[in-house]
Chain A
Amino acid sequence: MLLYTLRRLLLAVLVAFTVSIISFGLLRLSGDLAAAIAGPEATEAQIEAIRVDFGLDQPLVMQYVDWLLGALRFDFGNSFYFRDSVVSLVADRLPVTLTLGALAIMFALIVSIPLGVLAAVKQNTWIDRSALTIAVSGQAMPSFWFALILILVFAVNLRWLPVSGSGTWAHFILPAVALGYYATPAIMRLTRTGMLDVLASDYIRTARAKGVRPGKVLFKHALRNAVIPVVALAVVQFGFILSGSIVIETIFSLQGLGLLMWESIGRRDFPVVQAVLLLIAMMYVALAFIADLLNAWLDPRIRVA
């Protein structure tokens, strides 16, 4: 276990390092930053001042080492745009994105696990087939498209929910559904196949032979085993949801990391982009770790080994 944790930590460091170098390189080489920040009407002297001000006159390697030394002290510099520290900007926006992500994955799980169980129990009936249809259309439809439909129906026509913003809980509902829907097909299908496998297994027959009631056989004996791989998948999907929040937050003007990222790219606010990219990469590593822990916790065979 200790060795395993150490390996994970090492992996995290490697990923962080790689992501930071690649993103740093790509961002800095994508054009003259100082000119972009200064704007189209700036004079040569103004641009030069900005270049010196932001340290952009230094060699690229020096700039990276500077950034790295700062990052190690948890200092990601200041935003080019807000003149505010990147850390405080990100800390402001992170809770919004995490809330959105958590709501989205909850929505996905609440919809897809019962649907997957139902499809397995009613295998090859119209219920099974319609569940599959929903799943396939979910995978085929782009999330922004689905989001726009949701806005049209529930916010514009029915006026049940607000169109955009992040002021109240109600603001989170449509984005969470739009984002979570995208994760439902995969989870539903894995639940369905898992349940089908498990329901055909010998220990389910044993449970029935003991006289355990059908409902309890399904939810205590079958689902408990079928859900083990689903949990790992859900954690991975949570990662996708976090990256998918860029599109959804932009559509719904939710003041989260995704929107910050989107706007920062437009403003060439590279310290912010850099930090958010690194944060997302770290979250992926952390999620993989959490998935493993959950797996071990759920599956006694892994836990003891």
Chain B
Amino acid sequence: MAESLLDVQGLKVDIPLATGTLHAVRGIDFAVDKGETLCIVGESGCGKSLTSLALMNLLPRTAKRSADRLQFDGIDLLTYSEHGYSRLRGSRMAMIFQEPMTSLNPAYTIGDQLTEALLTHQPGSRRKARDRAIYLLERVGITGAANRLSQYPHQLSGGLRQRVMIAMSLMCGPDLIIADEPTTALDVTIQAQILHLLAELQRELGMALILITHDLGIVARIAHRVAVMYAGQVVETGTTEEVFNAPQHPYTLGLMDCIPVPGKTERGARLGSIPGVVPSLIGDLSGCAFRGRCPFATSQCDDAPRLRDISRDRACRCHFRPEERRVTAELVPGP
């Protein structure tokens, strides 16, 4: 079996707070192959952004990262210094953020910021960098690309800025792009356009993509694999088809509840809403993190379940198989 492009095992992110340590990411495992699209889904606050920042070593100052294994194309990222990382970032792994309005530097032109992405890693002619910037701006669907180079971020709309961010992430032709909810801050009409653009670029350029999104419709359409996160853990992974056709974890079942199966998915469909609240991430969790909201919970759920392999590519963090479960609590409909 060929080695994965990105191999993550036991990734943890801890943030010390006045009230105790916040275990925001609690040991997650996943792998991404070359040219593959992995979608990470899960409720707000479950640690998706911190996971992606941890991969890039861009966590906030106070946050601490640890992992059993963190490999990118055979390189051990755990031993990498900030300097080593800066050679990798932008050139081989790039990132697109949630907030296009604030992610570009207000003091420099689009052109300066785009060409910098290339010139940082391949010092050379400004002209060539400029040409590539223009080419990519056109590629991400920006008209009048040459004129845009001399504009400042505040002169562009949110959608355009996110397209600029995408073009910027492509400047060096990276092997992996991490996109953290790239459309959450945008208008609904633009959201689909941007996501489709990303999917199209991924297919065309053959890079790997980790996409964090709430849009299950998009997940169904573009992801090769899905990882479902809950309270800082992966509760279910598998190929998109398997996860959508036969969700295993009760949490995934809850998410899927509101949306139809792939193929007849509504555009912009959102995650299903599940009654109850996420447990506090401060301190240790005892037992299954989901048991407070799980309609199938039993006394066995007071013991924390492991992420159990179901097949080669498929795992679920639950003591029970779907056919073994019985409803033990009535779901209280949300307000």
Contacts and interface: CB of A to CB of B under 8 A. Distances in A.
Contacts of B108: 221, 224
Nearest to A204: B105
Given A211-B91, A212-B120, A301-B152, A206 B104 contact: yes
A1 interface: no
Contact of B86 (A214, A221, A224): A214
Interface residues of A, number: 22
B21 interface: no
Nearest to A203: B105
B116 interface: yes
B64 interface: no
B89 A209 contact: yes
A203 B104 contact: yes
A210 B152 contact: no
- A-side binding surface: helix, strand, loop or mixed? helix
Contacts of A304: 152, 154-155
A197 B89 CA distance: 23
B103 interface: yes
B138 to A, nearest CB: 21
B120 A205 contact: no
A207 interface: yes
Contact of A208 (B89, B104, B106, B152): B89
Contacts of A228: 107
Contacts of A205: 58, 97, 103
Given A202-B97, A301-B154, A304-B155, A209 B106 contact: no
A11 B103 CA distance: 39
Interface in B110-158: 116-117, 120-121, 152, 154-155
A212 B121 CA distance: 9
B169 to A, nearest CB: 8
A211 B120 contact: yes
Contact of A210 (B83, B90, B154): B90
A299 interface: yes
A211 B90 contact: yes
B109 to A, nearest CB: 8
A85 interface: no
A300 interface: yes
Given A202-B97, A209-B94, A210-B116, A300 B89 contact: no
Nearest to B87: A211
A63 interface: no
Contacts of A203: 102-106
A225 B104 CA distance: 12
Interface in B163-181: 165, 168
B152 A201 contact: no
B103 A202 contact: yes
Nearest to B178: A209
Contacts of B103: 202-203, 205-206
Given A214-B82, A224-B107, A225-B107, A209 B58 contact: yes
B56 interface: yes
B43 interface: no
B106 A221 contact: no
Contacts of A299: 106-107
Interface residues of B, number: 30
Contacts of A83: none
A7 interface: no
A73 interface: no
Given A202-B97, A206-B97, A211 B102 contact: no
B7 interface: no
A208 B97 contact: no
A255 B12 CA distance: 68
B307 interface: no
Contact of A209 (B56, B102, B107, B152): B56
B219 interface: no
Contacts of A206: 97, 103-105, 165, 168
Contact of A211 (B89, B105, B106): B89
A210 B89 contact: yes
Interface in A176-208: 201-203, 205-208
A211 B103 CA distance: 15
B106 A301 contact: yes
Contacts of B94: 209-210
Contacts of A214: 82-83, 86
A246 B104 CA distance: 46
B99 interface: yes
Interface of A: 201-203, 205-214, 221, 224-225, 228, 298-301, 304
Interface of B: 56, 58, 82-83, 86-91, 94-95, 97, 99, 102-108, 116-117, 120-121, 152, 154-155, 165, 168
Pick the 3 closest A-B CB pairs, nearest first: A211-B90, A210-B90, A202-B102
